[in-house]
Amino acid sequence: MDEKFDCIIVGAGPSGATAALRLAGAGLNVVVFERGKPGSKNMFGGVLYSTVLNKLIPDFWKEAPVERHVIRKRFSLLSSTAEAAFDLSFNAFDSPPYNNSFTVLRARFDRWYAGKAEEAGALIVTDANVEDFIVEDNAIKGVKAGIEGGDVRADCVICAEGANSLLAEKSGLKTRPGPSSTTLGVKEVISLPKEVIEDRFSLEDGQGASFEFFGTALGGAAGSGFIYTNKDTLSVGIGVPISVLKEKGLKPNDLIEGFKGHPAVARYLRGGKTEEFSAHMIPEGGYKAVPTLVKDGLMLVGDSAGLLNPSLFREGTNLAMASGLLAAETVIDARAKGDFSARTLGGYAERLKKSFVIKDLLRYKDVPAAIGSIPGLFSEGPEAILEFLQGHFTVSEKSKDELHSEIRKAFRNKVSMKKLLLELYRASKALR
Amino acid sequence: MIWVLAECKGNEPKAVTLEALGAGRLLAEPLNLPLCLILPGSNPASFARTFLRKADKIHLLEDPLLSTYANDAYKGAVTAFLKDKAVRALVVPGTSTGKDLGPLLSVSLRIPYSQNTVGIKVKEGDIHLSRRVYGGKIIETVTTADAKGGVIVSIMPRAFAEAADGKTDGTVVSAAAGLNEEALRIKVRGFVRETGQMDLTEAPVIVSGGRGVGSAEGFRLLEELAALLGGTVGASRSAVDAGWMPHTVQVGQTGRTVTPKLYLACGISGAPQHLAGMTGSKYVLAINRDPDAPIFKVADYGIVGDLHKVIPVLIEELKASGVAKVS
Amino acid sequence: MIVRRRRGILRTSKNVDIIVCLKRVPDTGARVEIEGTGVREEGLDWVLNPYDEFGVEEALKIKAAHGGKVTVITAGAPGGEDVLRKALAMGVDEAVYIKDAGLKGADDHGVSRVLAKAISRTPFDLILCGKQSTDAQAGYVGGALAGLLGIPLVSAIRELKISGKSFEAGREVEGGVETVEATLPAVLTAEKGLNEPRYPALAGIMRAKKQEIKYLDLPSLGINPEELENPLKRVSLTYPSIERKGKVLNADSGSIKEFAGFIKSII
Ligand SMILES: Cc1cc2nc3c(=O)[nH]c(=O)nc-3n(C[C@H](O)[C@H](O)[C@H](O)COP(=O)(O)OP(=O)(O)OC[C@H]3O[C@@H](n4cnc5c(N)ncnc54)[C@H](O)[C@@H]3O)c2cc1C
Ligand SMILES: Cc1cc2nc3c(=O)[nH]c(=O)nc-3n(C[C@H](O)[C@H](O)[C@H](O)COP(=O)(O)OP(=O)(O)OC[C@H]3O[C@@H](n4cnc5c(N)ncnc54)[C@H](O)[C@@H]3O)c2cc1C
Ligand SMILES: Nc1ncnc2c1ncn2[C@@H]1O[C@H](COP(=O)(O)O)[C@@H](O)[C@H]1O
C-alpha cells in the first residue's frame, strides 16, 4: 500500500475507537485495523462508565445502543449458604447524565461507536489482524496487517489491542504480565423477559442494577462475581486471577457454574436461557503494572497499557476512552510539530498523569496485592462472618447473653480474630 | 383442485412424491377438493399404477423431452397443462428439482410460492403454511392474501408422512405436454455421481462428524457405522474446513438441511448454524466428550465420552444385536 | 425478450457484463427474536448473504477471464450500503441501490419484480444470484428473475465455464453434479463450492469508500408500492421447539449397550 496515513490505530475497542473519532474529527487521515468486526468478539462485565464519552458525544445515550442506566448498586458477601448485602439505590442517578453508568452489550455498543468514528472520516478495516510493526531505526513506522496490501505506513501508531497485548509486547515496551496480575473473566448472557428482570431487580423501565458478589462466590477462590441487568438479558460472570486458577487447578467453567448455582445468585437467574458464553483477560495489575507508554512512533492505550482500575468493581472502559482521547490529542500536537519521537509523544504520558486515569490507579495501587495476599477474605472469613450473623439473628430459647457468648466462641475458634481484622484493615485501606 | 407434481428418477417416481401426496391430502380433505397428481415423463403410464389408491386423478404428461428433468421443458409442459385449470394449491417436492422449478412456475402461472414448508393446516377455508426461515430458528406461518387464491407449496423432504392408500380409486388420463424442442434452451449433458455416496437429503440415517473426529481417517470409523445402519456420513463445517470431508456433505445453514430418521452427531458441538440443518431429524443422537455441548440440548439420547472409544464398542454392540438396516 | 434482442444484435465483443444481486441478511450466528409479527431488527448484525459472496467472486473471475463490467444491485429498506461497499471492496465496478421505504416488508415476490424492472433497463449478459438467502431461505428471486426476464435459469451451480455466448454449468443435485448447457443471457444461482470468495484488499476497501452508489427508488422505476403487496400474508412467527429432553449418559459398556438398543428400537 503506497498511501501513508497520519495515524494507524490497532483495535476498534473503546480506546481505539475514541482515538479514531478524535483524530478523524480533527481532519487527520486515520485507519483502524480490527481483527474481527467491531465488538463481535469483545466482551466485558457490562457497565460502561461514560464521563469521557459524554464529552465527545454529548447525550450519547439518546442514540447509542445502551441497555439500562444503573441506579441500583449492590455489594454482597457470600458464604457457601448465606449472604450479607449492602444495597444502594439512588434516585439522582435516574436523570441525565445517569451517573455515567450504563449497561451495554459490547457487540452492539462497539459497532455503534466504531460507526461514529467512521462517520467522522476514519477508515475502519475489519477482519484485518495486525501481525507486526514496520520498524526502522528502532522507530515504529507502520504496521503489517493480515490482508492484501496490509503493510501500511504512518507517522505514528496507537496500539489499542486490549488485554491480550501481543503487539505491545513485540514493541518491547511491555513484557507479558504475570499470572497474578491477569484475571480471567468468564461471562454468560442469559435472557429473561424484560418484565421479569424489572420485577426481580425492582427496576422501572430503563433503570438498571449492578450486583457484585465477593466472599465464597467462587467456592473459596479469590475472585468476584457479578450480575448486570440489560434490557432483556442479564450479564452474569466471574473474574479470577490466572494465578489462582493455576494454583488450585480450577476450571473457569466449573467456577461460573458454581457461582450461578449459589442460592443467592440462582434466584436471579431462574428460568433464564444462556445465549452467549465468552471469556476474556483483564489486566488487573493496577498502577504498578503500567508499562512505559510510548516509544518513537508508538503509544499504548487502554487495556494494552494496563489502564484498568481493579477496585471493588472493574472500571476499564472509562480509562480506555480517556487514554485514547489523550493519545489522540498528543498526535495532533505532534503533527503540528512534525515530530513523532518518544519525546513528543511522551506528552501523552504527562497528560495521563494529570488525568483521573493515573490518579485513580495510584490511589488503588495496593488493591491487587492486597486482594492476592488475603486468601482468608475468600473462604474462612465470609463463612465465619455469616455464621456469626446467623447466630446473632437466630431465634431460640437461650438467653441472648448465652447465645452471644457461644457464637463469639465459635467464631474465634474458626478464624484468628487478629488475622481477620488485619486482613480487613489492609483491604479497606487499599480500597478506601 | 389440489395438484401434486410427481418427481421421477429415470422412469421411477421418487419417495418424495408420496410425501407430496401426503401433504396434498392435508389440503384436499378439509377443503373437499380432488387430489390430482401430475406425472411427467417419457413413459409415465408405466408406473401410474403405484398411485391409483393415493390420488383421485392421475394426469400423465407424456413427452420424450420430459425423460430427464430440464427446467424449461418441465416449466413449459406444466404451465401449458395447468394454465386453464383451477389451482388452489400445487405441491412440489422440495428437492433440487422442485426448488429449481417452483419459482419458475410461480411466475408463469402467476401464483405465489412458499418454500421449505413443514406444516399445513386449513383454517376456516384458508390454507395456512408453516415454513422454516432464519435457518430454522423461526417458523413463519403464511396464508394466501387472496382468500381463494392458489399457492405453490414446496415441502421439506421428510416433513410430511407418505400418503397411505386411501379409499379413492384414481383414474388415469393422458395430457399432451405440447413441447417444442426448438424452444428449449437448456440441455442436460450429463451427471456425475459423487463418490458413490448416498445423497444426504435422502439418507434415512446420517452419521455426522465434527472437529472432534480429529482427522480424515477418523471418518472411516463413522463410515463403517453409517454403512452398518444403512446410512451415510455428514459433517460439520469445521470438519469440512479442515479438509476431512467434501463440502457436499456439510450439514447446516450453509450446507444441507437434512431430515433423516436418525441423525447421529459425533464430536459436533451443536453451533446454531449446524443445528439449522438437522433439528428436523426424527431422532437426534449425540456422542460428545463435553457434557455441556449444546448438541445434547437437541438430542433424544446422548453419550458423554470419547467418540474414538465409544463408536467401536457401539459398532460391536450393534453387530451383536443383529441390527437391521433401515429400509 | 427486449433483453435478448439487445444482447443478440448489439453486442459483438466477447465481454461478459454481469449483474450480481445482493441481499443484506442477519448474520447466521445472530440471535433472531420475534417482536410482534416481525423480527426484532435492533441489535442484529447484518452481513452480505453468504451465497451472494460466491456470486460476486464468480463475477470477478469471469471479468478477469473475459472482460466486461460487474454491477451489483440490492433492493430494500435503509442499510444496504454496507453490502454494496463490501462488493465494491472486492472489486466490482458499479453498485446500484433500489432504496425505498416501500420495500420494507416486501417479500421475494415483490422484490423480484422490482429487480427485474431495474435490470431490464441495463444491458447485461449474465445475472448471478445466491442459491438462497439465509433469512428467507426462499431460493426464489433467481428463478423469478429468469421467469420475468424470459431467459434461462440454471440454479445451484458449483461449476461454470463460459465460452463465447454459451456456457456449461455444474448444478448441484441429489447425489452428484448435473452438467447443463445453455446460452447467455441467463440467470445463474450460486451454490457453496463454486469458488472461495476473496477477502478485499486494503486498496479495494479504500476505493470502495469513495465510490459512488447509484440510487433508484420505486417511482423512478415506475412502480407503484401498492403493486408490491405480498401475495402471501404472514399469520404468525413462532419459535420451533427444537429442544429435546433426551437422556445423556456417561460412556461405559452398559450405557453404550443401552444406546445401541435405542438405535435398534428406532430403525
Ligand atoms: C469479564 C470482564 C468484565 C469487565 N467489566 C467491566 C465493566 O463492567 N466496566 C468497565 O468499564 N470495564 C470492564 N471491563 C474492562 C473493559 O472491558 C476493558 O477495560 C476495555 O474493554 C478496554 O478497552 P480497549 O479498547 O483497550 O480494549 P478491547 O475492548 O479489548 O478492544 C481491543 C480491540 O482490538 C482488537 N485487536 C486486538 N488485537 C488486534 C490485532 N493484532 N489486530 C487488529 N485488531 C486487534 C480486538 O479485536 C478488540 O476489538 C471488564 C473486562 C472483562 C474481561
Ligand atoms: C456464516 C456461517 C455459516 C456457517 N454454516 C455452518 C454450516 O452450514 N454447518 C456447520 O456445521 N457449521 C456452520 N458454521 C460454523 C459453526 O458456527 C461452527 O463453527 C461449527 O458448526 C463447529 O463445528 P464442530 O461442532 O465440528 O466443531 P467444534 O465447535 O469445535 O466442536 C467440536 C466438538 O467435538 C467434541 N469433541 C472433541 N473431541 C472429541 C472426542 N474425541 N470425542 C467426542 N467428542 C469430542 C468437543 O467437545 C466439541 O463439542 C457456520 C458459521 C458461520 C459464521
Ligand atoms: N432484496 C434483494 N435485493 C437484491 N437481491 C436479492 C434480494 N433478495 C434476494 N436477492 C437475491 O436472490 C437470492 C435468493 O434469495 P431468496 O429468494 O430470498 O432466497 C439472493 O441470494 C440474492 O442474490
Q: Is the ipTM of this complex over 0.90?
A: no
| Residue C45 with chain A: CB contacts under 8 Å | 37, 40, 107, 111
Return the percent helix, strand and coil in chain C, to nearest 5. Answer: 35, 30, 35
Q: What is the pLDDT of residues B213-254, one digit of tens each?
A: 999 999 999 999 999 998 999 999 999 999 999 988 999 888
Closest to A197 (Cα-Cα) out of A224, A225, A236, A253: A236
On whether any CB of chain C is under 8 Å from the CB of A128, the answer is yes
The answer to whether C225 touches C118, Cβ cutoff 8 Å, is no
Ligand 2 near B288 CB (within 6 A)? yes
**Cell numbers standing for residue A127:** 477482519
* CATH topology assigned to domain B205-321: Rossmann fold (3.40.50)
User: What is the DSSP code string of C27-64?
Assistant: -TTSPP-EETTEE--TT--EEE-HHHHHHHHHHHHHHH
The verdict on a CB contact (< 8 Å) between A1 and C31 is: no
Alpha helices, DSSP H, located in chain B? 15-31, 71-82, 96-109, 218-228, 237-241, 272-275, 307-320
Q: What percent of chain B has pLDDT over 90?
A: 67
pLDDT of residue B326 exceeding 50: no
For residues B71 and C98, give the distance between their C-alpha atoms in angstroms, rounded to a whole number.
Answer: 30
Please give the DSSP secondary-structure letter assigned to residue C10: I
Strand partners, B220: none
Q: Does a structural domain hold residue C243?
A: no
Does ligand 1 have an atom closer than 6 angstroms to the CB of A308?
A: yes
Distance (Å) of CA A57 to CA A42, A63, C159: 22, 10, 51
pLDDT tens-digit map of B40-77: 998 888 888 889 899 999 999 999 999 889 999 999 99
Confidence (pLDDT) at B170? 81
In the numeric block, the cell 463481535 is attached to A40
Residue A394: per-residue pLDDT: 81
Report how far residue C172's alpha carbon sits from residue C190's, in angstroms, rounded to the nearest whole number.
10
Cell of C215: 440510487
Topology adopted by domain B2-183? Rossmann fold (3.40.50)
* C106/B contact by beta carbon, under 8 A: no
Give the closest residue to C149 by CA, choosing from C183, C181, C186, C180. Answer: C186
Q: Which residues lie closer than 8 Å to B85 by C-beta, 6 or more apart? A: B1, B3
Q: How confident is the model at residue A276 (pLDDT cuts 50, 70, 90)?
A: confident
Q: Which of A147, A153, A192 to mutate to test the interface with C (most CBs of C within 10 A)?
A: A147
Which tens digit of pLDDT belongs to each residue from A61-96?
Answer: 999 999 999 999 999 988 888 899 999 999 999 999
Average pLDDT, chain A: 89
- Report how far ligand 3's centroid is from the alpha carbon of C206 (Å): 27
Range of weakest confidence among A225-229, B17-21, B72-76, C246-250: C246-250
Residue B327 DSSP symbol: -
Q: How open is the CA angle A141-A142-A145, to the nearest 5 degrees?
A: 160
**Distance in Å, CA C129 to ligand 3 centroid:** 7
Q: Is the pLDDT of residue A9 over 90?
A: yes
Which cell is A15 given?
A: 480506546
Chain B residue whose CA is closest to C109: B112
Q: State how far the Cα of A298 lies from the Cα of B110, in Å rounded to an integer.
A: 65
Q: Is C251 on the interface with B (CB under 8 A)?
A: yes
Taking a C-beta distance cutoff of 8 angstroms, is the pair C237, C39 a contact?
Answer: yes
C-alpha dihedral (A319, A322, A323, A329), degrees to nearest 10: 180
| Angle, vertex CA A143, rays to CA A137 and CA A146, nearest 5 | 145
Chain C contacts in chain A segment 382-411 (CB below 8 A): none
pTM of the model: 0.83
Q: Is B269 in the pocket of ligand 2 (CB under 6 A)?
A: yes
Query: Do the beta carbons of residue C237 and residue C38 sit within 8 Å?
Result: yes
pLDDT tens track for A287-345: 888 999 999 999 999 999 999 887 767 889 999 999 999 999 999 999 999 999 999 99
Number of CB atoms found within 10 A of residue A87's CB: 12
Q: Are C95 and C72 in contact (CB under 8 A)?
A: yes
Q: Are A163 and A310 in contact (CB under 8 A)?
A: no
Decide: B59 and B77 in contact? Cβ < 8 Å.
no
Count of domains for chain C: 1
Per-residue pLDDT tens over the stretch B80-92: 999 999 999 999 9
Note down the domain range covering C119. Answer: 2-228
Q: Which ligand is nearest to the CA of C20?
A: 3
Instruction: Select from B272, B298, B305 the Cβ nearest to the Cβ of C243.
Output: B298
Q: Is A196 on the interface with C (CB under 8 A)?
A: no
Q: Is the pLDDT of residue A40 over 80?
A: no
> What is the bridge-based pairing of β-strands B301-304 and C94-99?
unpaired
Of the candidate ranges A408-412, B69-73, B272-276, C211-215, the one whose mean pLDDT is the lowest? A408-412
CB A318 within 8 A of CB A49: yes
Q: Residue of the nearest CA to atom 34 in ligand 1?
A: A11
Confidence bin at A37 (pLDDT 50/70/90): confident
Q: Where are the domains of chain B?
A: 2-183, 205-321
Mean of the per-residue pLDDT values of chain B: 91
Q: What pLDDT score was predicted for residue C243?
A: 76
Q: pLDDT value at position A11?
A: 97
Residue listed under C-alpha cell 413441447: B179
Query: Is A191 near ligand 1, meaning CB less than 6 Å away?
Result: no
Cis peptide before C185 (omega within 30 of 0): yes
- Write out the three cell numbers for A100: 455515567
pLDDT, residue B327, reads 40
* Banded pLDDT at B12 (limits 50, 70, 90): confident
Ligand 3 pocket mutation, candidates C72, C111, C126, criterion most atoms within 8 A of CB: C111
Residue pLDDT, tens place only, A103-147: 999 988 999 999 999 999 999 999 999 999 999 999 999 999 999
| Separation between Cα atoms, residue C218 and residue C223, nearest integer Å | 5
Residue A323: the pLDDT is: 97
**B171-176/B126-133 β-pairing:** unpaired
C9 exposed, middle or buried (CB, 10 Å; 0-12, 13-18, 19+)? Answer: exposed
Which residues of chain C fall short of a pLDDT of 50?
1-12
| Cell matching residue B292 | 455441556
Q: How far is A173 from chain C (nearest CA, A)?
A: 28
Residue C130, domain CATH: 3.40.50.620
The gap between the terminal CA atoms of chain A, to the nearest Å, is 52
- Per residue in B173-215, pLDDT (tens digit) is 998 888 888 889 999 998 888 765 677 877 889 999 999 999 9
Please tell me the predicted confidence (pLDDT) of residue B112.
Answer: 97
Mean pLDDT of A24-44: 91
Q: Residue C178 and residue B191: Cβ atoms within 8 Å?
A: yes
State how far the Cα of A379 lies from the Cα of A215, in Å rounded to an integer. Answer: 6
Question: CB atoms < 10 A from the CB of C107, how many?
Answer: 20
Distance CA A105, CA A177 (A): 27
